[in-house]
């Protein structure tokens, strides 16, 4: 059982992603529970995202909007979303 917990922890770490959710939430003096309520997700989901674990794109969209940001500002909350878009754009332009 201990080995399984270690494996799960290692897998969780490998799927981590840097984001600014906690910083932005604290800047507007919002609790995790309030952000969860506004985003329509569980407080546990907010905790996991703030810890750097990966989440679905739809969850990211809900969090961005719940923080009072526009979807165009997604890189402020989840910087990696901008990286993926840049990669897609450069590969699209190569195909034309």
What are the Cα distances from residue 44, in Å, to 39, 49, 50?
A: 12, 9, 10
pLDDT (tens digit per residue) in 14-34: 467 799 999 999 999 999 999
Q: What pLDDT was estimated at residue 2?
A: 52
What does the alpha-carbon distance between residue 68 and residue 77 come to, in Å, rounded to a whole number? 11
pLDDT at 12: 45
What is the CATH class of 14-95? mainly alpha
> Which 8-state DSSP code applies to residue 41?
S
pLDDT at 21: 98
Q: Strands (DSSP E) along the chain, which ranges?
A: none
- 35: burial class by Cβ within 10 Å (0-12, 13-18, 19+)? buried
Q: Domain boundaries in the chain?
A: 14-95
Kindly list the averaged pLDDT for each block of 10 residues, start to end, along the chain of length 96: 50 68 97 98 98 96 98 95 56 47
């Amino acid at each position: 059982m201990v080995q399984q917990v270690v494996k799960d922890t290692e897998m969780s770490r490998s799927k981590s992603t840097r984001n600014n959710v906690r910083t932005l939430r604290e800047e507007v003096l919002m609790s995790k529970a309030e952000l969860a309520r506004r985003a329509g997700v569980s407080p546990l989901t907010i905790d996991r995202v703030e810890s750097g674990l990966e989440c679905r794109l739809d969850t990211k969209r809900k969090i961005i909007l719940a923080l009072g940001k526009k979807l165009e500002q997604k890189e402020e909350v989840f910087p990696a979303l901008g990286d993926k878009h840049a990669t897609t754009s450069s590969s699209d332009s190569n195909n034309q």
